[in-house]
Chain A
Amino acid sequence: MATSLIVPKRPFLTLPFLLPSWSDSLSLGTRRYQSSYRRTKQRLRVKPDASFGSSQQVGDHIIHNPPSSAPSVYHTPNKFLPSNDARKAMRTQASAGYNATELPNVHKVEAERKYHLNPSDIEEIRKLRLADPMMWSRHKLAKRFECSPLFIAMVCEASAEKKQIQKQVLEAVQSRWGPKRRMAREDRQLRRAAWGRDE
């Protein structure tokens, strides 16, 4: 996994919050309680980034120090810049520190698309689906014609009776939900809608 590959660039000794603080252990004998305030303060005392310290250079100078934060949507990706934009030429050397080809995919690699079905097959799919909707479900049709269930849905539509039956089944299942499950499901839908607004 990617996490195992990623380590902080700084050596451990420069990260003081990872080390046990010596002053704490020394004061243990004399003091009864460790002050939690002091402890947290000491742990949080992280040195500022080296680029923000005083540098030896004389005169005004510009440094390139990209922040450790999620990218902003106002900074158009290089690929999306039109060709006549001056920024496109400027941003050539920017590298992200990882190689895009080496990163793992979110989904498993999709099967190669075959495009092997011809109109007569599609006619048959439609016929089968209409003839016996209970027997020929999307998955079964997909298995038989070696395509994806999505393709079946694109090609044909279930009959009205089948839709009615499916609706009743869903209602029967939902009627057995308690308040907790119902609320959890509703919350999930609300969260899902919030993704689109980027909240």
Chain B
Amino acid sequence: MFSRSVLRSFTSDLRLTAPSSIASPFTQRACLHQTALLRTSQQQPQSSTSTSPDSPLSATPRAQSSIPETQTGLKGFSSTQTQDTPQIRNDIPIEKQPLPPTFTSPIEVSKTLMEQLPHLAGQKPHYVVAELHARPFLLTEGDHVRLPFLMPKVKTGDILRFNRASAVGSRDFTLKGSPHVDERLFECRVRVIGVESEPLRIKEKTKRRQRHTKTAKSKHRYTIMRVMDVKVKSPEELLKEGAVVVEDKGDSPQVETRS
């Protein structure tokens, strides 16, 4: 449940912060990994991830020296990345599929939402109910997440952006989507920090009147992540990114104030 938008933000980040932050050994590594990714990604990925091994460097620019010539290599890298856009499939429930990028038009924000947004953005800390394979995870900044599965095609150190959330909130306010919040309203980045496995499970399978006992073994592996930031964008940021304020559609009151 990640999107290409992350790449866009990465590249924009990089263009903004001039230190291109990647020494050539890392680009080399990136290219190696890139080939590996392309080889395996013939079948369309279910959860499209932004697998870039050097993204710990690019999302938050590392303490690296500025070498201007690596910029071009990076651009090429990101352009190859955008090739695999998620597609809708019929055999999988819609909430388990990756969201296609919906950036054909600038984000439309209703007037009341724009008025309420400073309340939410001004109250820290924030939490997000991010959905991953239709499973909700309540995350705050710095949380340690152990996914109940092994996420394919991610490497240790990758940064992913969760773009499907059912709610983003602070203590008193909650931004709810129907069913999902627009991904341009918030930012939730996680970093893959490794793969862990559970202790070996041994299940004894017995059948009646048979002396033989079959033992079934299982040892699952899980992806471990760390939430880097959970952020709600403020109205100024949204307007800077080209948000369009529209009139409200519904006549129902937007604020359900409870005493």
Contact = CB atoms under 8 A, between A and B. Distances in A.
Interface string A60-91: 11111111000010110000000000110010
Contacts of B256: 51, 55, 63-65
A90 B170 CA distance: 15
A86 B110 CA distance: 22
Interface in B126-177: 167, 171-177
A150 B124 CA distance: 43
B172 A64 contact: yes
A135 interface: no
Interface of A is mostly: loop
A61 B110 contact: yes
B119 A90 contact: yes
Contacts of A66: 171-172, 258
Contacts, number: 90
A55 B174 contact: no
Interface of B is mostly: loop
Interface in B183-223: 185
Interface residues of A, number: 25
Contacts of B175: 60-62
Contact of A63 (B124, B176, B179, B249): B176
Contact of A62 (B124, B173, B179): B173
A58 B250 contact: yes
Contacts of A64: 119, 172-173, 255-258
A10 to B, nearest CB: 11
Given A60-B182, A62-B119, A75 B255 contact: no
A61 B174 CA distance: 8
Nearest to B259: A97
Among all A-B residue pairs, the 3 with the closest Cβ atoms: A62-B116, A66-B172, A60-B177
29 contacts: A51-B256, A52-B167, A54-B178, A55-B178, A56-B252, A57-B178, A57-B250, A59-B113, A59-B249, A60-B113, A60-B175, A60-B181, A61-B110, A62-B117, A62-B120, A62-B175, A62-B254, A63-B173, A63-B176, A63-B254, A63-B255, A63-B256, A65-B258, A66-B171, A75-B171, A86-B118, A87-B122, A90-B118, A90-B122
Interface of A: 9, 51-52, 54-67, 72, 74-75, 86-87, 90, 95, 97
